[in-house]
A and B are shown apart, each in its own frame.
Chain A
């Protein structure tokens, strides 16, 4: 056993773990952070978009030194059928501001930098160390961790579980269940490299401006899923994810979906001639509010993806992770400052603080959305995209058909596919879940 005792051990060096470790170290606490990768970031996978506001709260001047890719001036939503896309694009010069709100980033590089700030703040960061289990006393209180290093047991007053979406340690210790197949998506991604001028001309960007595309429709073959294309400086992150339970049901392969997405006539020209340099896969929590496990107990708190804190509707995860890590750290520091023990009751301060933040409020707002999209995936991801695409084509193609006839044939195609009850039901259910 390592004799040294810590105020807190943070398991994992992703967004949540780094935010927690940084915050506690800044408060002057004695923090040990454990990471299984060769460096912090080497196991971390995300699209990735960084939301500035949450990072600014931790590192106000991050723009001066963080490895950022492009600030976003444009967001495109695409509804795809096999040969077309119907798009909603929002682009504004307002986003060319002094302190931009969103950036594309490359996680392995960004996290390495983030970790350097954690070290600067005084935390001990130990990489290449896999935590194998939590150490609990006779009453079940978590008092430390066991690692795969020799003499690998280390003790602390509190353990912050920032172990990522799989949440293996928490499950092993009986603190929570393993995520269910219907509550996690598997996403696969490739990094496509191109000269930056090529990216800028294909995405209509200048300088460090960036653009992202989120795409849903027949590319997921009736499964609940979404594709994404994010412009970085010299590469494009391109991926697609669908619920694990849907992969299980349909027998589709993740790489097969990725290839079809890349070959879509709206997508292929964007990556033509690129050099792929990495292929990765990652699980994304999709269960929303109803899938959040117990957030704290005697001697432990759970933050970020491990707590399933992800807003699937707004594609926000890393900011919820960062915020939950920071809030957990602040709560722990408050308890410590009062010289109170790290009991479940005292640590429930973290839960209270999180409930008062946008993290839980946003997840609560959309609590019925995952079930709706998961149960109606055929309609939302296959039927409607095809109908809308046909309607658009009917609308723009000039062929001598009187407009009135065009309109009624469009309407008929919708009613035929979903019936009046189906259409109104879907609209009603969607509106209710969104509210």
Chain B
């Protein structure tokens, strides 16, 4: 129990339905060279693992699997690290059960 459990979030997101608004990311990461502690914490706190480090050590976002919870806004909007909106009407995650 105490040891870390390997989880593939991609497999979980695969259960969900999405209508992706191509080319219109509703969340943007401010360009940076060194990520702030807030940005780094999003790598783990985002429940859909939308945030990842690129090979230059910068935090990037891929919003396709976003479940629109708002956690990253709570952590990263005040510091200006991210710009956060909801997707356009009708786009994004489509919950069947919620």
**Is A154 in the interface zone, CB < 8 Å from B?**
no
- A36-B70 Cα distance, complex, nearest whole Å: 15
As a 0/1 sequence over residues 33 to 68 of chain A, the CB contacts with chain B under 8 angstroms (1 = contact) are: 000111001111110100000000000000000000
Contact indicator B71/A280 (Cβ below 8 Å): no
**Is B93 in the interface zone, CB < 8 Å from A?**
yes
As a 0/1 sequence over residues 67 to 98 of chain B, the CB contacts with chain A under 8 angstroms (1 = contact) are: 11111011101100000111111101111111
A37 neighbours in B (Cβ, 8 Å) = 90, 94
B68 neighbours in A (Cβ, 8 Å) = 43
As a 0/1 sequence over residues 402 to 416 of chain A, the CB contacts with chain B under 8 angstroms (1 = contact) are: 000000000000000
Q: A41-B98, A130-B87, A178-B77 are in contact. Are A256 and B4 (CB under 8 A)?
A: yes
**Is B35 in the interface zone, CB < 8 Å from A?**
no
Contact indicator B98/A251 (Cβ below 8 Å): no
- Among the listed stretches A258-266, A329-337, A357-365, A391-399, which one makes contact with chain B, having 4 or more residues with CB under 8 Å of it? A258-266
Contact indicator A260/B5 (Cβ below 8 Å): yes
B93 neighbours in A (Cβ, 8 Å) = 43, 280
As a 0/1 sequence over residues 273 to 309 of chain A, the CB contacts with chain B under 8 angstroms (1 = contact) are: 0001111111100000000000000000000000000
As a 0/1 sequence over residues 220 to 264 of chain A, the CB contacts with chain B under 8 angstroms (1 = contact) are: 000000000000000100000000100110011111101110011
- Number of chain A residues close to chain B: CB under 8 A: 61
- Among the listed stretches A23-31, A88-96, A105-113, A341-349, which one makes contact with chain B, having 4 or more residues with CB under 8 Å of it? A105-113
Smallest CB gap from A35: residue in B: B89
Smallest CB gap from B69: residue in A: A281
A190 neighbours in B (Cβ, 8 Å) = 12
Contact indicator B89/A254 (Cβ below 8 Å): no
**Is A354 in the interface zone, CB < 8 Å from B?**
no
Q: How far is the CB of B78 from chain A (nearest CB, A)?
A: 7
A109-125 interface (Cβ within 8 A of B): 109, 111
Q: How far is the CB of B94 from chain A (nearest CB, A)?
A: 5
**Is B16 in the interface zone, CB < 8 Å from A?**
yes
**Is A170 in the interface zone, CB < 8 Å from B?**
no
- A111-B5 Cα distance, complex, nearest whole Å: 35
Q: How far is the CB of A247 from chain B (nearest CB, A)?
A: 5
What are 23 A-B pairs with beta-carbon distances under 8 A?
A: A36-B86, A37-B90, A38-B90, A41-B95, A42-B98, A43-B68, A45-B98, A83-B1, A107-B97, A108-B97, A108-B98, A111-B98, A128-B89, A188-B47, A247-B71, A255-B47, A263-B1, A277-B15, A277-B97, A278-B96, A279-B12, A281-B69, A283-B69
- 13 new A-B contacts, CB < 8 A, other than A107-B98, A279-B16, A281-B48, are A36-B86, A46-B98, A106-B97, A148-B88, A166-B73, A168-B86, A178-B74, A248-B45, A252-B44, A253-B7, A278-B15, A280-B95, A283-B69
